[in-house]
């Protein structure tokens, strides 16, 4: 019996570095969003061992693979040695700031919890996900989430009016390697100050903006806050990344010239995404950029309900 599941990519609509924590990590405030570019994962129980199959040359097949680590973690949790073969059909560009590996890891936790019939309390499942990587807990939930902490503490953002649905997004990538570690190591001093007690009110500020769209007197409200607006696209990681990788800056500018209403680096890169108002403008940009040697993926947002529905029997809710 084989279980086949989609493993979606994400973008960061916003990413702010709030400061450096005593444990050395950076405290983030980010809005994560799943989009409908997906790998396909096929899980087949086998007698013993963890076997990974993937045709993408940059994806490791051993214990460095996050799918392997997720399977191992669940086995350790139950003190068992269940076997699994996982075939990964990669469509999400590797190391592109689209969370491909993290997404694969989260789907593996959900799939194996179901296939191996392991009872894991939700709190424990989220803790395991967080151990695997800061973006992994988000992919247990999907849709639009506010991420705080290392980005691993996630809160779904309700979207009853569908204001966060964005149908005409273009992801562009050229396989440029931007090591995440270097990006964080080269942040400007003002973004790495030790955290002050202002952390919680800052988070609340965002929540208020989500709820009401306004927070009188706040920095965000005074810039006409609306998280659904493309003017709110913002990524602090562009500060260290764009000057070092001029190709990324150029493609971001080109996307705006080609009619995008907003364009931004996703996570630590190297994917840049752009929001268009209609499909013809997006297709035109995709054609021109492909001609220049870029990979271009037209995608739409995937909301929480659809995300969970597509996960079917392994769904969290």
Contacting residues toward ligand ATP, per CB under 6 A:
58-60, 64-67, 88, 94-102, 104, 133, 135, 180, 267-268
CB 235 within 8 A of CB 242: no
CB 149 within 8 A of CB 136: no
Catalytically annotated residue among 39, 135, 152, 236:
135
CA 241 from centroid of its chain's CA atoms: 18
CB 262 within 8 A of CB 140: no
**φ and ψ of 298, to 5 deg:** -70, 125
- Per the annotation, the verdict on 135 as an active-site residue is yes
* C-beta of 65 vs 301, nearer to ligand ATP: 65
* C-beta of 94 vs 288, nearer to ligand ATP: 94
CB 142 within 8 A of CB 8: yes
Question: What is the number of the residue whose Cβ is closest to ligand ATP?
Answer: 101
d(CA 290, CA 296): 6
* C-beta of 128 vs 209, nearer to ligand ATP: 128
Catalytically annotated residue among 10, 39, 236, 254:
10
Strands (E), the chain: 3-20, 26-46, 50-54, 83-89, 144-148, 153-156, 169-173, 234-235, 262-265, 272-275, 295-299
* C-beta of 28 vs 98, nearer to ligand ATP: 98
d(CA 128, CA 125): 5
We find the least distance from the C-beta atom of residue 289 to ligand ATP, in angstroms, to be: 20
Say what angle helices 66-78 and 100-115 make with each other, to 10 degrees.
30
We find the least distance from the C-beta atom of residue 246 to ligand ATP, in angstroms, to be: 20
We find the least distance from the C-beta atom of residue 39 to ligand ATP, in angstroms, to be: 7
* C-beta of 98 vs 125, nearer to ligand ATP: 98
We find the least distance from the C-beta atom of residue 267 to ligand ATP, in angstroms, to be: 5
Catalytic site residues? Answer: 10, 135
């Amino acid at each position: 019996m084989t279980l086949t599941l989609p493993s979606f990519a994400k973008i960061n609509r916003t990413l702010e570095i709030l400061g450096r924590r005593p444990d050395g990590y950076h405290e983030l405030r980010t809005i994560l969003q799943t989009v409908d570019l997906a790998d396909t994962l096929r899980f087949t129980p086998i007698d013993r061992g963890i076997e990974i199959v993937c045709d993408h040359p940059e994806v490791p097949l051993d214990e460095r693979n996050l799918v392997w680590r997720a399977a191992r973690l669940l086995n350790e949790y139950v003190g068992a040695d269940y076997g699994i073969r996982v075939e990964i059909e990669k469509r999400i560009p590797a190391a592109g700031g689209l969370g491909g590996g993290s997404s694969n890891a989260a789907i593996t936790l959900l799939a194996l919890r179901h296939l191996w019939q392991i009872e894991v309390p939700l709190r424990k499942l989220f803790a395991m996900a967080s151990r695997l990587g800061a973006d992994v807990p988000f992919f247990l939930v999907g849709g639009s989430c506010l991420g705080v902490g290392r980005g691993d503490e996630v809160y779904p953002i309700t979207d009853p009016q569908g204001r966060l649905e964005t149908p005409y997004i273009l992801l562009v990538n050229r396989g440029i390697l931007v090591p995440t570690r270097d990006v964080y190591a080269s942040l400007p001093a003002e973004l790495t100050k030790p955290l002050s007690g202002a952390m919680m009110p800052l988070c609340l500020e965002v929540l208020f903006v989500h709820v009401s769209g306004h927070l009188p007197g706040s920095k965000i409200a005074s810039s006409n806050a609306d998280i659904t607006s493309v003017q709110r696209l913002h990524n602090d990681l562009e500060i260290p990344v764009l000057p070092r990788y001029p190709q990324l800056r150029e493609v971001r500018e080109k996307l705006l010239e080609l009619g995008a209403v907003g364009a931004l680096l996703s996570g630590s890169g190297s994917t840049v995404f752009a929001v268009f108002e209609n499909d013809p403008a997006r297709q035109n940009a995709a054609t021109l950029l492909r001609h220049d040697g870029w990979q271009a993926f037209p995608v739409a947002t995937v909301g929480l309900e659809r995300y969970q529905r597509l996960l079917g029997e392994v769904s969290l809710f």
